[in-house]
Amino acid sequence: KKKIKKSCLTPQFSFTPQRHHPANSCLLPICSLHGAAVTTVEGVGSLKNRINPIQERLAKCHGSQCGFCTPGMVMSMYALLRNHVKPSMEQIISALDGNLCRCTGYRPIIDSYASFAKQTCCQLRGTGQCCLDQEELGCSSSIRSGLCNPAEFLPVDPTQEFIFPPELMRMAQEQQRKTLIFCSKRTTWISPSTLKELLELKAKYPKAPVVVGNTSLGLNKNDCDDYHPVILHPLRIPEMQVFSITDDGIVVGAACCLAQLRDILMETIPKLPEEKTKIYQALLQQLRTLAGEQIRSMASLGGHIVSRGSAWDLNPILSAGKSVLNLASDGGKRQIFLNDQFLAGHKHADIEPKEVIVSVLIPYSTKDEFISAFRQADRQKNAFSVVNAGLRVLFSPGTDTIVDLSILYGGIGSTTLSARKSCEKLIGRQWNDQMLSEACKLVLEEISLPPSASGGKVEYRRTLLVSFLFRFYLEVLHGLHQMYPFRYAELSQDKMSALGVLQSGVPQGTHSCLQDVDPGQSPQDPVGRPIMHQSGIKHTTGEAVYIDDIRPVDGELSLAVVTSVKAHAKIKSIDISEALQVPGVINVITAKDRGVIVSMFFHWVMYVGVLQVICVGQIICAVVAETLTQAKCGAKKVKIVYEDLQPVLTIKDAIKHNSYITKERKLEKGDIEKGFKSADKIIEGELHMGGQEHFYLETNSVLVIPRMEDKEMDVYVSTQHATDVQKLVASALNLQSNKIMCHTKRVGGAFGGKITKPSFFAVIAAVAANKTGRPVRFALERDMDMLITGGRHPFFGKYKVGFMKDGRIMAADFQCYINGGCTKDESELVIEYIVLKVDNAYNIPNLRVRGHACKTNLPSNTAFRGFGFPQAGLFVETCIVAVATKTGLPHEKVREINMYRGVNRTAFKEKFDAENLWKCWKECLVKSDYHSRNTKVEEFNRKNYWKKKGIAIIPMKFSVGFNATYFHQAGALVHIYLDGSVLVTHGGIELGQGIHTKMLQIASRELKIPLSYIHFCETSSTTVPNGKYTAGSVGTEINARAVQDACQILWKRLDPIRRNNPKGKWEDWISEAHKKSISLSATGYFKGYVTDMNWKTKKGHAFPYFLYGAACSEVEIDCLTGAHKNIRTDIVMDASFSINPAIDIGQIEGAFIQGVGLYTLEEIYFSPEGEQLTLSPDTYKIPAVCDIPEQFHVYLLPNSCNSIAIYSSKGVGEAGFFLGSSVFFAIRDAVAAARKERGLPLDFTLNSPLTVERIRMACDDIFTKMEDGNMDPGLVITWS
């Protein structure tokens, strides 16, 4: 399985010519690196030696938060700059295609790397004016955020970079004609130097795979049983690296990587007559979106062809273009067409076992030939195609009479499929509407996709077949008009809008309205300033240590778990005997090893003495071994016999079976029956919303080290709640908590997913360590983490809304359901928060909300950023849109008429002032130029039938914190040492939100000393006990109050010393205080905000305070494919006084992009048996660089204050998430425009996530109606 690791990108120098390749280290066999110079992030730069300008700029531009992805970002940019000293912004964006970040929202990363780009002006789309002259826009190669100072950047000096080691050059020359052989116990790796030798080896070992980039074999490797005795590596063979231009076309070596192919085509196309380059342009179009740069730099053309994957984008167009494979064996050479029969594996058209592909001839196109390639994926870049296509037509010279036709599709069957019979029937036909109609019918009949087809999305995929065909038809008509303008008519504006695919432009940096600090504030006082993340440089150099970076401890063991394959079943027997026989396996840990607490973790359910499992992914036992590979092999040998029980999987199943985790939560306001009677109209509807994976880049990890005496244990764990880890581990081992020392330096992302779950993983490792007496490391791999841990709760809501003709809502009755999974976890709190927050910014006078947390046989869902509000907010906004649609009023007017005004009370009687809500709303209308842009959107939509734009503006009232006082308590410990240096510790945990950075800023202000004097070590239960979990947007401010308290205590102790020596230095004061026996250590404590919620009286002061905001987003959709691009987003956030604007803006942006993922991209699938099918980055798509708005602006509301929090700040960590729904409703606005033009009903509901499939099928047209399909019964979305 693909793993994401923090330093997985290594530029590689190939033999000749020398070139830097970014690569995924987990796919690189060590043997393939013989003779190569490998540079990892540590080699780019380090604090021990020097940092590279790439690292420095990324840190200073605030391009890291949790930092786990940062070394990968550095390596991608490093490889690019070594190949292109002054890259274009397009090259920079392309270089980042294969990198994922879950924290930042990408904007600051792009901002930092824009400083390396060519200084090319955008010229404002042909106006001749520079965008730098415009107030609202920033030039694509400039930094406009105001959060960093480019004048401080280190200069770029390419002469200071490493040269290719001369000894490797000598070695390459000496070994040029030598065969390289590497042997292990099971596998022999052979790298021949000549084609003749390769063919001899292939004849001797016909089953041996030929490996170049290892992007296919590497992803499918099995650690235990699946291996290849011989592997052949042909990278040094000149004939397989060839590139030449011949009379017939371009010949490309089979071992050329896809990035090389792209570069070859980009260089060659301008040199050839345009009529010859049609296939090359189509290939280049596909290569721009195929995979990421790391894969493109390693995957070979021959490997791409011969692996024949259904979703492989190049094969359909290579086949349509009549490409030829040049084959060789020890028996001679031959050529075969890369056609549909080859791709289908027909024996007479396939490669023989002893043959290899040496090169590929890609022929020129001709004047009367048209070739196009299409693809549609769940994400624009670095995602497998849902459907791809290669289409070619050859006309009789000077006519539109079809002489030859090729139509091939990928993503439909197990390999690329050809509509060969359809094409044969269309030979001789003219290229007109009648031909198109018949072609669509023939293709749908020939390309079979039954309702039960693997992968689901049947109706959508069949629609894409004819949508692509229609687009090709129009492209050809347009081409014919350009060739013969007097013979063929120009396309109408409506049809012209179908041409071209949506491609996101170069993102432009934010133009943030930053706060001004008090003119009288000391320059040394860092509060309110955009201070760089405390670990920012270490993030970029790879020196920031995460749990799995801790070096192996003497005697350390590895652990792997055995999980249930059944959603609900009795366990008849568990046989661990074979596992114990695996070499290196030390023991197998089961629930019987340590009493009741461990049994609770393993979720064993006892019914009349019978053990049961209650979800797929439930941990049954754990295997401990000398190495991780041995532990995984042992886990596969455990035999479990089940007896199936009937599972409950969906919310509707749970409702049917009355399966709930908690009692109903209910709130009422006003007189709902009276309200409905007074309404002019009443509407009812439903909303389904899928779940979401946390997809933190650092998976759950723990290292447990038992000490030699007193049964003490050190637990190094990636968690948001160290106290819970300490408590559960101590209970499991029947020890007092004071024997368990928990340590967390930093966490590589969490978002709520590491509150409850890490404690259980720590228990397993601790029990194993206790049983074996040796240290145990347990780091989950990506697929296992996604399988076990659960995520955001899927949501189902039913609404009934009564309203007046002017849009005023008089009454609303909401029923809200969430899928809690198999245990309680945080589901009770989540459903409570949904009930409390569902009104969002709207004052509904008569309201009833009922909430249910459903119990199902899915992995237990848990806390996630926003904690129920993203579901509740989308639900109520859907109601607002429904009212606006029924009344025919503009959506923003219906929002305004229903928004809270002035001092008001919530449904649970908490008092608040909505003044800043309206300030944010009005400011957002102005900053976004909403009304003017809305007019332009309407004008665009009138002119374009197949592409539509949409715009939406969304208000937000977000409650910060928890509804119980004890959740807000915090502690801190501050030491002052004799040299004047200060050590700060507190109970909060660094998750990427910059909590430690802000603590240092606060300590600096309170003690009036420079930041350089202050250090933070780690969060530990040994220094600050009983810390609450870091979550709810308040982790920083409550721990800040504790740090402030400790610092003020120390400052007060120093009062006599300062009075006696007012002009003395800090160091003098500390030395004197020590001589006076004044304690230089202080404990700080914050009792917490007073909150409460009484569910019996339905009243309470549930939250410390409210935060307000608004967002406006504009999008464009492709009605033929469902693709969309985010054009612009403006966010106004009421952050009051920001302790660190750079960190807070980063949190807003990162949360927003994560919200865009929830609402438009991220989709979880389960099988009918309850097994999650989306368990990797291949199948689960989070937002990438291509998904951020082209213009992304964040404004902090000026002149705002918050008397409750420290320094009048507000917690902004979660609030930006819901504002991602502005993209959802902008898409809906665009879909509504398409439906209106087609005469379709406008009172439609779009469920979340609003994926390409849902967008396309909502734009109902002739192509969606051509064939009715059904969803794959093998796929069940959890909210269904």
Q: Is 168 helix (H, G, I), strand (E, B) or coil?
A: helix
d(CA 1120, CA 1210): 44
Place of tokens 């080699």: 43
Angle at 1085 between CA 1080 and CA 1089, to 5 degrees: 155
d(CA 588, CA 608): 26
Helix %, strand %, coil % for the chain, to 5? 35, 20, 45
Name residue 290's amino acid.
L
Query: What residues are paired with 876 via a beta bridge?
Result: none
The pLDDT of residue 46: 95
The pLDDT of residue 953: 98
pTM: predicted TM-score of the whole model, two decimal places: 0.95
Q: Which strands make up the sheet holding 639-644, listed edge to edge?
A: 605-607, 610-613, 569-575, 639-644
Using alpha carbons only, how large is the chain's radius of gyration in Å? Answer: 31
Residue 11 per-residue DSSP state: -
**695 assigned ligand-binding residue:** no
Please answer whether residues 86 and 116 qualify as being in contact, where contact means their C-beta atoms are separated by less than 8 angstroms: yes
Q: What is the mean pLDDT of residues 516-545?
A: 94
Q: What is the pLDDT of residues 200-256, one digit of tens each?
A: 999 999 999 999 988 888 766 655 667 899 999 999 999 999 999 999 999 999 999
Q: Which strands make up the sheet holding 180-183, listed edge to edge?
A: 180-183, 188-191, 230-232
The pLDDT of residue 2: 31
**933 assigned ligand-binding residue:** no
**587 assigned ligand-binding residue:** no
Question: Distance of CA 462 to CAs 433, 624, 1069, Å?
Answer: 20, 48, 78
**pLDDT value at 750 more than 60:** yes
**26 assigned ligand-binding residue:** yes
Name residue 1157's amino acid.
G
d(CA 1206, CA 1245): 43
Please answer whether residues 474 and 499 qualify as being in contact, where contact means their C-beta atoms are separated by less than 8 angstroms: yes
**Which residues does 1169 contact at the CB level (< 8 Å), separation at least 6?**
566, 567, 616, 647
**212 assigned ligand-binding residue:** yes
Give the tokens for residue 517.
Answer: 């600090």
Q: What is the mean pLDDT of residues 555-568?
A: 97
**66 assigned ligand-binding residue:** yes
**pLDDT value at 152 more than 90:** no
The pLDDT of residue 821: 97
Q: What is the pLDDT of residues 1198-1215, one digit of tens each?
A: 989 999 999 999 999 999
Handedness of CA 144, 149, 151, 154 (dihedral sign): negative
Please answer whether residues 593 and 576 qualify as being in contact, where contact means their C-beta atoms are separated by less than 8 angstroms: no
d(CA 961, CA 1106): 9
Element (DSSP H or E) covering residue 438 = helix 433-446
Q: What is the pLDDT of residues 470-504, one digit of tens each?
A: 999 999 999 999 999 999 999 999 999 999 988 87
The pLDDT of residue 1270: 38
**776 assigned ligand-binding residue:** no
d(CA 788, CA 278): 48
Q: How confident is the model at residue 512 (pLDDT cuts 50, 70, 90)?
A: low
**pLDDT value at 299 more than 80:** yes
**103 assigned ligand-binding residue:** yes
**Which residues does 1241 contact at the CB level (< 8 Å), separation at least 6?**
1235
Q: How confident is the model at residue 133 (pLDDT cuts 50, 70, 90)?
A: very low
Minimum mean pLDDT range among 505-514, 635-644, 646-655, 946-955: 505-514
Residues designated as active site: 1214
Minimum mean pLDDT range among 84-93, 344-353, 656-665: 344-353
Minimum mean pLDDT range among 1-10, 269-278, 782-791, 1152-1161: 1-10
Please answer whether residues 793 and 762 qualify as being in contact, where contact means their C-beta atoms are separated by less than 8 angstroms: no
**pLDDT value at 608 more than 90:** no
Q: Give me the helices (H) in 508-552, please.
A: 536-541
Give the tokens for residue 851.
Answer: 């909430």
The greatest distance separating any two alpha carbons of the chain, rounded to the nearest whole angstrom, comes to 104
The pLDDT of residue 504: 79
Q: What is the pLDDT of residues 1047-1100, one digit of tens each?
A: 999 999 999 999 999 999 999 999 999 999 999 999 999 999 999 999 999 999
**867 assigned ligand-binding residue:** yes
Strands (E), 367-470: 369-377, 385-395, 402-410, 417-418
Q: What is the mean pLDDT of residues 562-581?
A: 96
Q: What is the mean pLDDT of residues 127-131?
A: 45
Q: What is the pLDDT of residues 402-434, one digit of tens each?
A: 999 999 999 998 899 999 999 999 999 999 999
**375 assigned ligand-binding residue:** yes
Element (DSSP H or E) covering residue 1053 = helix 1035-1053
**pLDDT value at 1280 more than 90:** no
Q: What is the mean pLDDT of residues 163-192?
A: 88
**301 assigned ligand-binding residue:** no
The pLDDT of residue 156: 86
Q: What is the pLDDT of residues 309-335, one digit of tens each?
A: 888 999 999 999 999 999 999 999 999
d(CA 662, CA 871): 19
The pLDDT of residue 219: 67
Please answer whether residues 1015 and 1061 qualify as being in contact, where contact means their C-beta atoms are separated by less than 8 angstroms: no
Please answer whether residues 715 and 729 qualify as being in contact, where contact means their C-beta atoms are separated by less than 8 angstroms: yes
**313 assigned ligand-binding residue:** yes
Q: How confident is the model at residue 155 (pLDDT cuts 50, 70, 90)?
A: confident
Q: How confident is the model at residue 505 (pLDDT cuts 50, 70, 90)?
A: confident
**pLDDT value at 1272 more than 50:** no
**1047 assigned ligand-binding residue:** no
Place of tokens 């914190």: 961
Give the tokens for residue 425.
Answer: 């029937």
For each of the domains in the chain, give its residue range(s) and CATH number, in order of start: 40-161 (1.10.150.120), 177-307+322-364 (3.30.465.10), 367-501 (3.30.390.50), 547-647+695-789 (3.30.365.10), 669-683+793-891 (3.30.365.10), 899-963+1091-1280 (3.30.365.10), 965-1086 (3.30.365.10)
Please answer whether residues 963 and 1103 qualify as being in contact, where contact means their C-beta atoms are separated by less than 8 angstroms: yes
Q: Of 679, 992, 687, which Cα lies nearest the Cα of 834?
A: 687
Residue 827 per-residue DSSP state: H
d(CA 187, CA 192): 16
Give the tokens for residue 237.
Answer: 């063979």
**Which residues does 833 contact at the CB level (< 8 Å), separation at least 6?**
867, 868, 869, 872, 963
Label residues 680-693 b or e (16+ Cβ within 10 Å = b). eeebeeebbbbbbb
Residues of the chain with pLDDT > 70, as a percent, come to 93
The pLDDT of residue 525: 95
The pLDDT of residue 751: 97
* 28: Cα separation from own chain's centroid: 24
Pairing of strands 385-395, 569-575: unpaired
Give the tokens for residue 1131.
Answer: 């966010």
The pLDDT of residue 450: 86
Question: Distance of CA 163 to CAs 71, 72, 167, 686, Å?
Answer: 21, 21, 11, 63
Minimum mean pLDDT range among 411-420, 606-615, 902-911: 606-615
Residue 598 per-residue DSSP state: H
